[in-house]
Structure 1
Amino acid sequence: MTQRLILAGGGGFARELYFWSAACIEAGTLPPLAGYLDDGGDVLAKLGYEIPWLGSIADFVPTTEDAILLAIGSPAAKRAVHGKLAVRGGAFPRMIHPLTRVVRTAKVAEGVIFCPGSAAGPDTRLDRFVTINTDSGLGHDAGVGEFSTLSSRVDLTGHVQIGPDVTIGSGATFMPKVKVGAGATIGAASVVYRSVPAGATVYAAPAKRLKSR
């Protein structure tokens, strides 16, 4: 196993992972936390966090001992930061918090983050760098495309398919077999009864289309 854990990002989600990764470190599924990266300088020190700033994402060169968690919510920003660090040899572990429920038939790819209380049911699929925030879950046969982010308390029922680079707000619910296209945005507390095209923004209960790219 790699020898040290690094958080890429210094915003709100990084502060959450600062605490949630501790349980994984204690369980032995992640290496010890060494510090974080942020292009804005040592932003966490200003908030009283005692975690070393290891420099900017733009300048950081990973070693073979580094395991990097993308502590970033925005799919576009996650993808951009991954591109910068991967080309320099960065390695990206999965983080599956001990208080999650992930069945053995779930397919969980590189860099996926499961926060406390999240779940993935039978034959689910989570592509690279998906973030599943607190108390969100995937029903049987659901799938989420790479770099997508589920905020807290999102419910994907059976056979729902989420494309890549999708942002889903807190409390959104998806009826069975709904499909969401790449780059779509689903507003908080939306109830999605119908499939959503790529690039669309929907909001409300039932969710209504507001705009497309």
Structure 2
Amino acid sequence: MILGIYGAGGLGREVYELAETINKARTDPYWGNIVFISDIDSEKEIWGIPVLRYEDFVLRFSAKFTQIAIAVGEPFGREHIRKKVIASNYHLATLIHPICRISPRAIILEGCIVNFGCNISYDTMIGTNTFLQPSCGIGHGSQVGEDSVISAGVRIAGNVSIGNQVYVGLHSAIREKISIGDAAIISMCSSIQRDVPNEMIAAGNPARIIQKNNDHKVFKPKM
């Protein structure tokens, strides 16, 4: 099986190391060949691994024997790439670090990436193509929508509902029974005590709504 990692930046390299760890934990490595995919001009290779543009990747690797992991930190970028990959008949790869605690009653959908040390409780559901960075905790009965990014060290209490294309920043905490709307952004180290509507940005401890997420971008150019 071939693994294409869509994204050749820092997050892509983290996903490569995760795939390496998963392979080493198996008696028979699942991915015999791993390559990077990038839509921008970048290095021709990283750590000796080729970096291909998507159109070249499609020509070289059959969808029948290939999976793609999306290693992009922008939720709407994740959605865009997911739709493109599925339109090309590729399947999304699901990567789960072997050192995680995941309830057998949790549901993790296709394309999710769950990195080291995550704790996912019972009756939770993690939506398609969502990325959980290291050491996240997700309480019982909570749901996270598709194409979302939950940053390292985030704590989500029980019965929380998080929408699609949501970004939750580093070390934030969300109290029980809170609802976070689609395309919302939670800034790093925030404490969410109240619901956050669709397309809103919340920040602070306790968090408050600071503005609308008009451009659907998390990472903005520095002024």
Q: Secondary structure in 1 aligned to 2:54? A: coil
Q: Secondary structure in 2 aligned to 1:69? A: strand
Residue 56 of structure 1 is matched in structure 2 by: 53
Q: Secondary structure in 1 aligned to 2:210? A: strand
**Cα distance in structure 2, aligned partners of 1:164 and 1:35:** 28
CA shift, 1:88, in A, is: 0.9
Q: Secondary structure in 2 aligned to 1:52? A: strand
Instruction: Kindly indicate whether residue 120 of structure 2 is the aligned counterpart of residue 120 of structure 1.
Output: yes
Instruction: Kindly indicate whether residue 75 of structure 2 is the aligned counterpart of residue 90 of structure 1.
Output: no
CA shift, 1:10, in A, is: 0.7
Instruction: Structure 2: state its 5+ residue gaps.
Output: 215-223
CA shift, 1:165, in A, is: 0.4
Matched positions, count: 208
Residue 8 of structure 1 is matched in structure 2 by: 6
Instruction: Structure 1: state its 5+ residue gaps.
Output: none
Residue 179 of structure 1 is matched in structure 2 by: 179
Letter in 1 for 2:107: K
CA shift, 1:58, in A, is: 4.7
CA shift, 1:81, in A, is: 1.0
**Cα distance in structure 1, aligned partners of 2:56 and 2:130:** 25
Residue 210 of structure 1 is matched in structure 2 by: 210
**Aligned ranges for residues 21-170 of structure 1 at < 5 Å?**
21-28=19-26, 30-43=30-43, 45=45, 49-53=47-51, 55-61=52-58, 62-63=61-62, 64-170=64-170
Asked whether the equivalents of residues 3 and 93 of structure 2 are also in contact (C-alpha less than 8 Å), the reply is no
Q: Secondary structure in 1 aligned to 2:198? A: coil
Question: 1:119-158 CA distances to partner (integer Å, 9 max, x unpaired)?
Answer: 2101100110111100011110111000010010000000
CA shift, 1:60, in A, is: 3.5
Q: What value does the CA root-mean-square deviation take over the aligned residues?
A: 1.5
Instruction: Give the TM-score normalised by structure 1.
Output: 0.93
Asked whether the equivalents of residues 117 and 134 of structure 1 are also in contact (C-alpha less than 8 Å), the reply is yes
Letter in 2 for 1:67: Q
Q: Secondary structure in 1 aligned to 2:57? A: coil
CA shift, 1:169, in A, is: 0.4
**Cα distance in structure 2, aligned partners of 1:210 and 1:188:** 13
**Cα distance in structure 2, aligned partners of 1:131 and 1:34:** 19
Higher strand share: 2
Structure 1 residues 156 and 169, CA, compared in 2 at 3 Å: closer, same or farther?
same
